[in-house]
Structure 1
Amino acid sequence: MSDVEQGRYAVRALDLTKTYGSGETQVTALDRVGVTFRRGEFTAIMGPSGSGKSTLMHCLAGLDTFDSGSAAIGEQELSGLRDRELTVLRRERIGFVFQAFNLVPTLTAEQNILLPVELAGARVDRAWMSSIVDVLGISERLRHKPSELSGGQQQRVAIARALLSRPEVVFADEPTGNLDSRSGAEVLALLRRSAREMGQTIIMVTHDPLAASYADRVLLLADGRIAGELSDAEPDEILAALGRLGA
């Protein structure tokens, strides 16, 4: 019996198609993509520029619409949800870490971290929060506003916010892009721990083979299609696979 039949997947896409523009300027960002992500699995999505990596992530997370096919978080199909229902789904079941940070400028770092949990009316696990901010090295910066933090520190606040509620799925777009190598390694180790110890599903878009090597699986995209995948791969193996795709 497949993972889908057993309900073990956390995220699924089936024949997912997404185009931009029309006529001669039409671009197919996703071309009948079918893929599942199992619960507790850490997946890195990689591919050449324009391969559809970010588009796939945005469609799976309910941040963008798609032309045909289907996408689901667990058993919940996304295509039939209204905007309000999508908002509730993202708030209660999904964590996001994107390059833009999306921090509220008038709130402190701590208030930004707590915001999604408080909006959901859930209880804050202070012990877990303390563990997260310690690993991310921002314990001393919690009372500072985003304008008083470096780009790397803002990134860590965004990661803490994404992990605090222990969401079913965390979507991460280049989560270590603004971090030094040591901090980046700590963040990636935390994401891997979240998958292995807490059963969270981590879906990360990255161009960095070293970052991708922390994942259980590397999903390769090219021209809007799945071009292959690697399991428990080393950076050199990932780099070679990307080279074959022209990345």
Structure 2
Amino acid sequence: PTTPPAAPAAAPAAAPAAAVRAAGLVKVYGDERTGVRALDGVDVEFEAGRFTAIMGPSGSGKSTLLHCVAGLDTPTSGRIWLGDTEIGSLGDEALTRLRRERVGFVFQSFNLLPTLTAKQNVLLPLDLAGRAPDPQWFQYVVSTLGLTDRLSHRPAELSGGQQQRVAIARALVSRPTLVVADEPTGNLDSRSGAEVLSLLRASVRELGQTVVMVTHDPVAASYADRVLLLADGRIHGRIESPTPQAVAAAIAGAETRRAG
């Protein structure tokens, strides 16, 4: 199909301005006084229907921020809202359900089950939630990702790029509020990596998804609508409509300031 299927009738008429927002986010590993302060008072909004990359030097708090806003890690203090839901107020069972239904995950390691076919891997989150897939949406996602003729293959029969496509389809199939991608091209060659980044870009432009990606690669970051620059657990800058050159220069500047 050339156009995505209509959203379910129960969906709101308009997406919220922010798919996710955080206020005063602090994350300390270890003792509050002497431990590692991975996040140091972060205020951030990730707009619905946009692709945001998070970059910064090693140890700047990139993955910690991603994991906190996705509900995978608990901040030491501060508040996080996924849509209109404050996730800090949820118990373990409700938080697990929220992650399963409203957050899609794409990681560096593809995390596919080797005994399942590509189709079974894609549908696994819905199976775990006891939900039936929307057939029209499923077909649209797998055709957009170029997986139609790969659905009966097991992961060992797929290339790395194809496996990551399956992982992206799995992240999209439940129509999540947010897709988080942690170094999604880290295990791929440059060609497969470019394909995966183009597919994440397409999921924003054509499927209306909200994607937040951590990467260390300025070229990967240039696929995003904007880049957030982190250093020492704080946001130190933003780049709109990034180019690889602008991102590389900003990261080099951050490293220089840190060294100084």
TM-score norm. by structure 1 comes to 0.89
Moved more, 223-232 or 117-126: 117-126
> Is 2:79 the partner of 1:73?
no
Selected match of 2:52 from 36, 40, 43: 43
> Is 2:162 the partner of 1:191?
no
Selected match of 1:22 from 31, 45, 55: 31
TM alignment of 1:1-247, pairs within 5 A: 7-22=16-31, 26-134=35-143, 136-246=145-255
CA distance in 1, matches of 2:200, 2:240: 17
CA distance in 2, matches of 1:159, 1:7: 23
Deviations 1:136-156 (A, max 9, x none): 454444333334444443322
1:78, CA displacement in angstroms?
1.1
CA contact (8 A) 1:152 1:178 kept: no
Q: What amino acid does structure 2 have at the position aligned with 1:39?
A: A
CA distance in 2, matches of 1:153, 1:190: 11
> What is the SS of the residue equivalent to 2:89?
coil
Q: What amino acid does structure 2 have at the position aligned with 1:203?
A: V
CA distance in 1, matches of 2:144, 2:189: 14
CA contact (8 A) 2:225 2:240 kept: yes
Gaps of 5+ in 2: 1-14
Deviations 1:42-61 (A, max 9, x none): 10000000000000000100
1:186, CA displacement in angstroms?
2.7
- Cα RMSD of the aligned pairs, angstroms, is 2.2
How many pairs does the alignment contain?
Answer: 242
1:199, CA displacement in angstroms?
2.5
1:233, CA displacement in angstroms?
1.3
TM-score norm. by structure 2 comes to 0.84
Moved more, 152-161 or 57-66: 152-161
Identical counterparts, % of pairs: 64
